[in-house]
A and B are shown apart, each in its own frame.
Chain A
Amino acid sequence: MPAPTDVNIPAPSTLAMPSPGLPPFDYLCPDDPDEVVALLLQHGRSARLLMGGTDLFVQMRDGALAPRVVIDVKRLPGMRELSFDPADGLHVGAAVNMNALAAAPAVQQFYPLLAQAVASVASYQLRTRATMGGNLCNGSPAADTAPAALVLDAQCVVWGPDGERTIPANNFFLGVRKTALQPGEFLTRMEFPVPPTGYAGRYIKLGRNAGGDLAIVGVAVLGYPETSAASGYRFRFALASVAPTPIRVPEAEALLAEQPITSGLLSQAALAAEDAATPINDLRGSARYRKAMVRNLTRRALDDVWNQLQAEG
């Protein structure tokens, strides 16, 4: 199954001695999406899907996963295509690698927030293999591209036993390593609607060091002018690494829509983000530090977005 719902995966760092190699598996590379569905249904939990493998192989080596069948879906039609249409928005095949995604002119021009989030993942070398689809399907609370997907209202298009269906990114993450994918389903592309006119966005990732760490905290903020809102603006907030899944912060969003925007209100929104965060203590950082960082970095991102909006408006 693409995303098992009941497998308890121990955190790799609690395992004492990972093995030097990967456990044995069969590698399959079907060219028909329905064959993938059939294989997934046939093998159930002993099959895993493969794109860049930067999560899958690491988990297999750590002993957290031992699939008998690995199904490579990178070569299926459309999986590595990226297109932009001014009316329809951006379509990104699930297996488009992150460097290609971040470098695409349409992404640079219309979705700089997405480019920022993608560029914050690991290193350039790793991003030649890693995919955004894999980042979302892996279901990690720390997925750096998830907050961008949430605030950009991305849609996850999946193929399954009943053909195609669409899951909003906002409903995609159900828990640690749990996504909304059903048995036999797999992700084929992400669709990003045309963003609101005049919007500004920012993703801030805090790692222990600047190069290639997983996020202690990730904060995405997107804002745009909106006449229907009392404040004249709407904002969207999403956080990574501070809850069992990447989360939106509706409380902060409501605050900033309802009242005229002042510095004090921006602070209140940052506090609302802090309140929404329910982080744990782990090797990367304490819950206390994480909560403070959600507040401070939300404020920093918000200031940045607000300044951009005012400069444009």
Chain B
Amino acid sequence: MSTTTTNPTRPVGDSVKRIDALEKVTGEALFADDLQFGPGLLFGRIVRSPHPHALIKHIDTSRALAMPGVKAVVTGADTPKQIGLYLKDRHIFCRERTRYVGDPVAGVVATSEEIAEAACKLVEVEYEVLEPVLDPLRGMAPDAPLIHPDLGNYEVPNFIFPKAGTNISNHFKIRKGDPDAAWALCDAIVEDEFRVPHVQHVPIEPHVAVAKMDQRGEITLWTSSQSPFAQRNLIAEALGLSQSSVRVIAPFVGGGFGCKAGVTMEALAVVMAQKVPGYAVKLRLTREEEFFTTFVRQGLIARTKIGATADGKIQAMQTEYFWDAGAYTEYGVNITRASGYSSTGPYEIPNVRADSYCVYTNHPVGGAFRGFGMPEIHWGIEQIVDMLAEAIGMDKAEFRLKNCIRTGSIIATGSTMHPVGLVECIKQATAAIHWGTEERASAPHKRRGKGLAIMWKAPAMPPNAGSSASVRFNEDATVTVSVGGQEIGQGAFTVAAQMAAAALGVPYEWVRVEGPIDTQYNPYEWQTVASRLTWSMGNAVMAAAKDARRQVLDLAAEHWGEDVDHLDIKDGMVISYRSEEAMPLKKMVVYGLPKPAGQGWRGGPIIGHGSFMPSYVTGLDPETGQGPRSVVHYTTGCQAVDLEVDTITGQVTILRIAAAFDVGKAINPDQVRAQIEGGAVQGASTALFEGFQLKNGKLANHSFVDYRIATSVDVPFEIIPIIIEVPQDDGPWGARGIGEHSMVPTAPAIANAVADAIGVRVLELPITAEKLYLALEAQADGMPV
């Protein structure tokens, strides 16, 4: 703990112990699958499409229904309305068409998971197999089969632009300056195509949902969720219910990374529960289902052209993104938008053209994934910038320093950049790995290399994504903070408690944060996504705590007959700087204070409220993508990587990753450092090992046997986290998000270091040992034995 008495904002800025540490390390913390529902609990299993693209000709559920122990079978006939976070493009159970291998066709409810599973095999489905679309370029072709022939009729918000009669669910454009004219000015132009495969979040805890409908038709859903309120809203709308008729209870989450945001399998459990009123129905996914039936990170084909003048100034950039969005686009359409407006990366470039296409394919459904499109686009951006620096003949760090955004830069959307510490991030991260100093490899057959990548990312969300919080006192002056944001392991509850404590003037240990999140009791939060809680929910908590604080001070001022401006709360005591009076918060915050001479009491239970919504974000012009404030803010950062490549096997060993991020204000520095380390690990894992191997729409590596992720022995030997703090104007204590950002630059930084080590550029993730070895062999025209 770096607690010092000189920290004026404490405990904000202190690395206090996590509020949930004891519960979690002792195993006491409850997760969705731990909740007990008694012997009446029923289980659901899902019949899934074995075809990537097919018409459902006929479903016969009679044999399944006749099986002893089976209570109900549901199909698309039970789900007439469509669901979707932005574009309402799917039925909870397929109706006439299936669009990916794993698409839910029917659900069986039975007295045990085994019976439900066995009965699934008795559901007879007759399919007419259709030609599948297996890559986004094919999906864009005019003669491609249409995956959503009714796209033009789907409900959609006004910032998403589907193209009826095509497979394009969104097309986002940036038109800034005149790139065509600018190419002529450039002394070096580089152009290339970069590819990113689908990857999975692989949380420790697979998806679990338990749903129950009571006799009045009201729904309760217990689930592992990043989005209890969004789920309530979307499920209610899709089922024709009012929001308050759906209650979502979300205990601790065993890892989310985006896969438990929005609505995936939870809606299946709800529809199944509607068939068996009064009974709770549990649906939990196997690890294999987790891989291909929940959200995945979308695949991407990125084509980029970039040019600079001999002085090293980037003059123009042109980009096309073809997102392999999969069968439906819960988040994909907005990832397409976010990647479009961020397509320059954190560079100030005068002439920009970008076209970002969200393309339906018969692949698993794309969703939110830590970074929300940014790791995918930076894979290409940060390599092509390296290639351009090389072509110009400039040091790669210097080249970035010359071109990166600074406070006041005009970014791709025409907006003006807020105060930003990216330059400092680049300087400190590179210094930490001794950038520019050649260092020896550990063995003659190894080659050492260094690389860096920088990044930016803004929270991508609808402009009216709101947060709210309440802060109430107990008799003993402890404080209960109530929020709707979720603790998904990132430390959100800890940070909320720190902020409430700091704003109120009570010790951190006095604050509790209520869980599980229950939409019936907790205040509204849009979703736990976009690295937005510390910032957005933080603003709401701060406002609520200030509200409660004001009530306490007003009461004390009246009691002492003093001006409220002279009063303060310190360490749980109300004090007056003027009269030097002091009294404990205890009791007065609930019972109030007695008036003089037995004339009764004043005050009463103190409860503060706060909300936040970024009402200052503007829309973007649909033709040019230009607007005065496109996003709330960007978090920026830099990673520098030092690694070795074994030329005998192609294996990469990461020696060091230094990572510097401008978080505005580290509310809890240790938690920020943990995010920076975690991001580097997940980033390294996606860089070196991860990727779907889809064969005709079917996932060949749908388990940990062949979908490898980094283990503790694969992670970088040394991660050096560096915190930069240039305060954010709209953030609590100046804070902005860090959760996702930390993995954004890792893969391209590693690719750049590999290129430095062995002169091989890998354009398609992952950077496997086999790829590097075969490239080395080609380079050397046969390796010596």
Residues in B whose Cβ lies below 8 Å from that of A19: 114, 117, 286
Name the contact of B712 in the complex, choosing from A211, A284, A285, A286 (C-beta under 8 A): A211
Residues in A whose Cβ lies below 8 Å from that of B649: 206, 293, 296-297
For the complex, give the distance between the alpha carbons of A209 and B653 in Å.
10
Name the contact of B706 in the complex, choosing from A267, A283, A289 (C-beta under 8 A): A283
Confirm or deny: A14 has a beta carbon within 8 angstroms of a beta carbon on chain B. yes
How many residues belonging to B are interface residues under a CB distance threshold of 8 Å?
38
Confirm or deny: B597 has a beta carbon within 8 angstroms of a beta carbon on chain A. no
> Chain A 238-272 against B: per-residue CB contact (8 Å), 1 yes, 0 no?
00000000000000000000000000000100110
Report the nearest B residue to A212, measured CB to CB: B711
For the complex, give the distance between the alpha carbons of A261 and B13 in Å.
66
- Determine if B648 and A208 form an interchain contact, defined as CB atoms under 8 angstroms apart: no
- Determine if B774 and A214 form an interchain contact, defined as CB atoms under 8 angstroms apart: no
Confirm or deny: A234 has a beta carbon within 8 angstroms of a beta carbon on chain B. no
Confirm or deny: A313 has a beta carbon within 8 angstroms of a beta carbon on chain B. no
Interface size class on chain A is 35 or more
Residues in A whose Cβ lies below 8 Å from that of B706: 13, 283-284
For the complex, give the distance between the alpha carbons of A13 and B769 in Å.
22
Confirm or deny: B401 has a beta carbon within 8 angstroms of a beta carbon on chain A. no
Name the contact of A20 in the complex, choosing from B48, B101, B286 (C-beta under 8 A): B286
For the complex, give the distance between the alpha carbons of A214 and B117 in Å.
30
Confirm or deny: B424 has a beta carbon within 8 angstroms of a beta carbon on chain A. no
For the complex, give the distance between the alpha carbons of A293 and B700 in Å.
24
Q: How near does chain B come to A307, taking the closest CB pair, in angstroms?
A: 14
Residues in B whose Cβ lies below 8 Å from that of A208: 689, 708, 768-769
- Determine if B783 and A292 form an interchain contact, defined as CB atoms under 8 angstroms apart: yes
- Determine if B48 and A17 form an interchain contact, defined as CB atoms under 8 angstroms apart: yes
> Chain A 1-38 against B: per-residue CB contact (8 Å), 1 yes, 0 no?
00000000000111011111100100000000000000
- Determine if A13 and B705 form an interchain contact, defined as CB atoms under 8 angstroms apart: yes
For the complex, give the distance between the alpha carbons of A18 and B288 in Å.
7
Confirm or deny: B148 has a beta carbon within 8 angstroms of a beta carbon on chain A. no
Q: How near does chain B come to A63, taking the closest CB pair, in angstroms?
A: 11
Report the nearest A residue to B784, measured CB to CB: A267
**Residue among B648, B689, B768, B770 facing the most chain A CB atoms (10 A cut-off):** B770
Residues in B whose Cβ lies below 8 Å from that of A206: 649, 769
The verdict on A292 contacting B777 (CB below 8 Å), with A16-B50, A285-B770, A297-B648 known, is yes
Residues in A whose Cβ lies below 8 Å from that of B768: 208
- Determine if A289 and B773 form an interchain contact, defined as CB atoms under 8 angstroms apart: yes
Confirm or deny: B710 has a beta carbon within 8 angstroms of a beta carbon on chain A. yes
- Determine if B688 and A209 form an interchain contact, defined as CB atoms under 8 angstroms apart: yes
- Determine if B701 and A295 form an interchain contact, defined as CB atoms under 8 angstroms apart: no
Report the nearest A residue to B118, measured CB to CB: A19
**Residue among A209, A283, A289 facing the most chain B CB atoms (10 A cut-off):** A209
Confirm or deny: A210 has a beta carbon within 8 angstroms of a beta carbon on chain B. yes
**Residue among B50, B705, B709 facing the most chain A CB atoms (10 A cut-off):** B705
Q: How near does chain B come to A197, taking the closest CB pair, in angstroms?
A: 30
Report the nearest A residue to B777, measured CB to CB: A292
- Determine if A13 and B703 form an interchain contact, defined as CB atoms under 8 angstroms apart: yes
> Chain A 111-141 against B: per-residue CB contact (8 Å), 1 yes, 0 no?
0000000000001000000000000000000
Q: How near does chain A come to B698, taking the closest CB pair, in angstroms?
A: 7
Report the nearest B residue to A266, measured CB to CB: B785
The verdict on A210 contacting B714 (CB below 8 Å), with A12-B703, A13-B705, A20-B117 known, is yes
> Chain A 201-223 against B: per-residue CB contact (8 Å), 1 yes, 0 no?
00000101111111000000000
Confirm or deny: A299 has a beta carbon within 8 angstroms of a beta carbon on chain B. yes
For the complex, give the distance between the alpha carbons of A13 and B694 in Å.
12
> Chain B 249-285 against A: per-residue CB contact (8 Å), 1 yes, 0 no?
0000000000000000000000000000000000010
The verdict on A20 contacting B705 (CB below 8 Å), with A210-B713, A289-B773, A292-B773 known, is no
For the complex, give the distance between the alpha carbons of A18 and B286 in Å.
8
Would you list which residues of chain B between 746 and 785 have a CB under 8 Å from chain A?
768-770, 773-774, 777, 783, 785
Report the nearest A residue to B769, measured CB to CB: A208
For the complex, give the distance between the alpha carbons of A16 and B700 in Å.
9
Name the contact of B288 in the complex, choosing from A17, A212, A270 (C-beta under 8 A): A17
For the complex, give the distance between the alpha carbons of A208 and B114 in Å.
35
For the complex, give the distance between the alpha carbons of A223 and B706 in Å.
34
For the complex, give the distance between the alpha carbons of A208 and B713 in Å.
12
Confirm or deny: A300 has a beta carbon within 8 angstroms of a beta carbon on chain B. yes
For the complex, give the distance between the alpha carbons of A209 and B83 in Å.
40
Residues in B whose Cβ lies below 8 Å from that of A123: 711
> Chain B 108-134 against A: per-residue CB contact (8 Å), 1 yes, 0 no?
000001100100000000000000000
Confirm or deny: B629 has a beta carbon within 8 angstroms of a beta carbon on chain A. no
Q: How near does chain B come to A292, taking the closest CB pair, in angstroms?
A: 7
For the complex, give the distance between the alpha carbons of A283 and B785 in Å.
26
Report the nearest B residue to A271, measured CB to CB: B785
Report the nearest A residue to B685, measured CB to CB: A209
> Chain B 682-719 against A: per-residue CB contact (8 Å), 1 yes, 0 no?
00000011000100001011110110111111100000
For the complex, give the distance between the alpha carbons of A209 and B48 in Å.
32
Q: List 22 A-B contacts (CB under 8 A).
A: A12-B703, A12-B705, A13-B703, A16-B101, A17-B48, A17-B288, A17-B289, A18-B288, A18-B703, A20-B45, A20-B113, A20-B286, A21-B114, A209-B708, A209-B714, A210-B714, A211-B712, A211-B713, A283-B701, A289-B773, A289-B774, A297-B648
Beyond A19-B114, A211-B710, A283-B693, 20 additional pairs, beta carbon < 8 A: A13-B706, A16-B101, A17-B289, A19-B286, A20-B113, A20-B284, A208-B708, A208-B768, A209-B709, A210-B711, A210-B713, A211-B712, A211-B713, A211-B714, A283-B701, A286-B770, A289-B773, A289-B774, A295-B785, A296-B649
By Cβ-Cβ distance, the 6 closest A-B pairs, closest first, are A211-B711, A283-B706, A267-B785, A211-B713, A289-B770, A210-B713
